[in-house]
Structure 1
């Protein structure tokens, strides 16, 4: 319905505005723009839908690619954490005289006790889970960023179309005013005002072109491109009229990527505590070898066991630090829960406010502005209103349409922000 109103409004603005009476003959001539219109820039190009824009970003965004590579790093770290300690080969020689020297060859193998290896693998697995959650957070952020950038470009595209229609109307209005001045029906001041109005809308057209170019560049940057190239955007089917209840969305926060990552951080620090506790258990080193005494020509086996005595260093400092990091991770989880809850609430309120503004504009303000503009044009054609009245009505209509586009952009941006924290189904944002 909203798209239909915009199309009807643009069609109305593109119609010939004015008619003047012929001199002394009583005949009326409908005025059209006899001078050529300034060629309006177009936004034609490859049509990109929102879903296609998101797929392009997920496939080629360098930030997301970096986060994905962190998972491969975590996999390699986990693989390394599960390896057994290498044995040591030791060769000892006592004496330099070949006849009297003693030579010992032995292998030392350190045996990790206290579950160190399994605890180390557990820590690496928690880090891998955090890397996976980093990817999930990056994907949610990227989807929201693409959605925001897409609709900013879409709104800029519609603003450009509106500015192009405004230029055409202003050209026709200036031509009509010029002819009426020549006919002596209005003051030359009215023609000057129409020229000022035309210069203003041309400036708005230049600004709209610049905004659209920048918006497309921001969208292309999310695809990893410096220049997005010529493309055209289309509004998704259905602008969305209702949001799911806020309590329903808030219940989904715990399953959101931000809180899952924060919980994984707590689990990672708890696994680190278990590793530091296992480090307090001394490792056992087993020695097996052979000793040869050249003086008597005899070989004998060497077997030994050694382990450190935990008299001074019992890993108490690392243990305390791990416990404190766990407490910090729990506090960070509570802080993150408050942050995302507040952010969700603010985005939800902004979306509701924007939706109310859209409903008010399309139901009350825009139809009245359109009716007022049509009446001003009709009255001007009949000689009842001045051209200034037409300009005021036209300005009000354009401002109303611009306000509608801003409200539409605010709603899309707010819904995109909601998608950073919860998974919105397609029917929930409509």
Structure 2
């Protein structure tokens, strides 16, 4: 969080430390401010519900699903035989001397062209389904990331609103203490600056929340201003599966499956281009009627192109090159996924330890230091700057805690891209204070 939040937090915590003078009844915030009333009115939305809405209505996902339907049509077309041709030829224009020929031609595909074409269409359909699977996986991870970005913005609005309320009460308290001669007028000026800063921080937080909500709702096709209340998932500090186990799952990840399907598709194209090297036969059957001699004759023939110049050698060379390129891209994708998995795993492990350490050790210690500073200030043993320093330290640690918490969920969401367990499977409850 920006350092300007520290000044805001100082005024909040200072006002909370002086309930007798400021007539403040608000309770101190928990490590994550989740129990206070959200300023954004709207229906509640859990992470699972956000993912479900996106999977049901995302335009890009619908487009990927239509690619599968298109591939189904291409597979049907690939299995069809060539249509026969009917031709009529008349020789001469004078009745009694002209000749009329009616014939039927049928192309006979040789070299396994039809089976190669069907195999290519099936590989393209599998590739379209693989693209759809990757799109669903990426959408799930992207929505999870956007959800926690919006959730963080929502929490900052809650804190900023509470800070503004308490800062206003702190200003009243400072005025009373100055009037009573207990503190210097400078304290009143500091309280006024803190209140003005809190007002600006609230406006900035509300703007950030509007942007984050708009980004999240765009995943299910909404373009208007979203009016939702996001629910903080339950804090999950369960150990992440071992890296070796995740690497084994990587072989079945949607991205790697898609890369393998791309190789199979290009190899099927090689088969089609090889089959095209074999010329097709055209069978001709017909009837020729000669008016001059007054009889009809059966016409039977075969037609075959001579592969003297065009043997489809250029297309075959290109398809062989594309197949080799697909195999190289498969290896590059495997390395990229392994690197991404390792990075996400390390971030998940680090953020897990950070959250645990802050929640169990650092936050309680910082709270005790702050409480001691407040007690000493009320007893006249410490000055305001001592309390302010303790407040800044506590706010900084709490900010780091929230950041580590959201980093944990974003890292787990990234692991979901690589075949890890669904990051939203058990995130249904709020974090306990």
Residue 34 of structure 2 is aligned to residue 59 of structure 1:
no
User: 2:43 matched to 1:46?
Assistant: yes
Q: Is the 8 A contact 1:219 1:228 kept in 2?
A: no
Query: Could you state the TM-score of these two structures normalised by the residue count of structure 2?
Result: 0.88
| Structure 2 partner of 1:18 | 18
CA distance in 2, matches of 1:184, 1:390: 20
Residue of structure 1 equivalent to 2:106: 109
Using the size of structure 1 for normalisation, the TM-score is 0.89
Q: Tell me what 2:205 maps to.
A: 208
Cα offsets for 1:350-407 (capped at 9, x unmatched): 2222222222322232112222222222222222223333333333322222221111
Tell me: CA distance 1:244–1:420, structure 2 relative to 1, closer, same or farther (3 Å).
Answer: same
Match of 2:23 among 12, 32, 43: 32
**Given the alignment of the two structures, is residue 330 of structure 1 paired with residue 321 of structure 2, yes or no?**
no
2:80 is the alignment partner of 1:89: no
Map Cα deviations across residues 125-168 of structure 1 (whole Å, 9 max, x no partner): 00000000000000000000010011111122122222223223
Please state how far the C-alpha of 1:16 moved relative to its aligned partner.
5.0
Listed as ranges, the gaps of 5+ residues in structure 2 are 1-8, 26-36, 428-433
2:387 is matched with 390
Q: 2:191 matched to 1:199?
A: no
Match of 1:154 in 2: 151
Pair 1:380 & 2:377 matched: yes
Distance in 1 separating the partners of 2:234 and 2:352:
16
Provide the C-alpha distance between the structure 2 equivalents of 1:352 and 1:175, rounded to a whole number of angstroms: 46
Name the counterpart of 1:288. Answer: 285
In the TM superposition, 1:171-320 aligns within 5 A as 171-227=168-224, 229-320=226-317
Structure-1 separation of matches of 2:301 and 2:122:
35
Q: Distance in 2 between matches of 1:259 and 1:339?
A: 10
The more displaced of 380-389 and 130-139 is 380-389
| Residues in 1 aligned to 2:325 and 2:199: alpha-carbon distance in whole angstroms | 58
Q: Does 1:409 align with 2:400?
A: no
2:396 maps to 1:421: no
Say which structure, 1 or 2, has more relative contact order (CA 8 Å, 6+ apart). 2
Equivalent pairs, count: 406
Give structure 1 regions of 4+ aligned residues with deviation exceeding 4 angstroms: 12-16, 425-430
Structure 1 residues 122 and 228: CA distance shift in structure 2, 3 A: farther
What do the CA deviations read for 1:196-248 (whole angstroms, capped 9, x no partner)? 22222322222221121111111100011013532111122333342111111
RMSD: 2.3
The worse-fitting range, judged by mean Cα deviation, of 168-177 and 141-150 is 168-177
Residue of structure 1 equivalent to 2:71: 74
Of the structure 1 ranges 161-170 and 399-408, higher mean CA displacement relative to structure 2 is found in 161-170
1:138 matched residue in structure 2? 135
- 8 Å CA contact 1:14–1:165 kept in 2: the answer is no
Aligned mates of 1:388, 1:415 — CA distance in 2: 41
The whole-number CA distance in structure 2 between the counterparts of 1:87 and 1:249 is 56
Task: Determine the structure 2 residue equivalent to 1:361.
Answer: 358
Match of 2:32? none
* d(CA) in 2 for partners of 1:153, 1:297: 90
Distance in 1 of aligned mates of 2:180 and 2:43: 48
Distance in 1 separating the partners of 2:289 and 2:223:
73
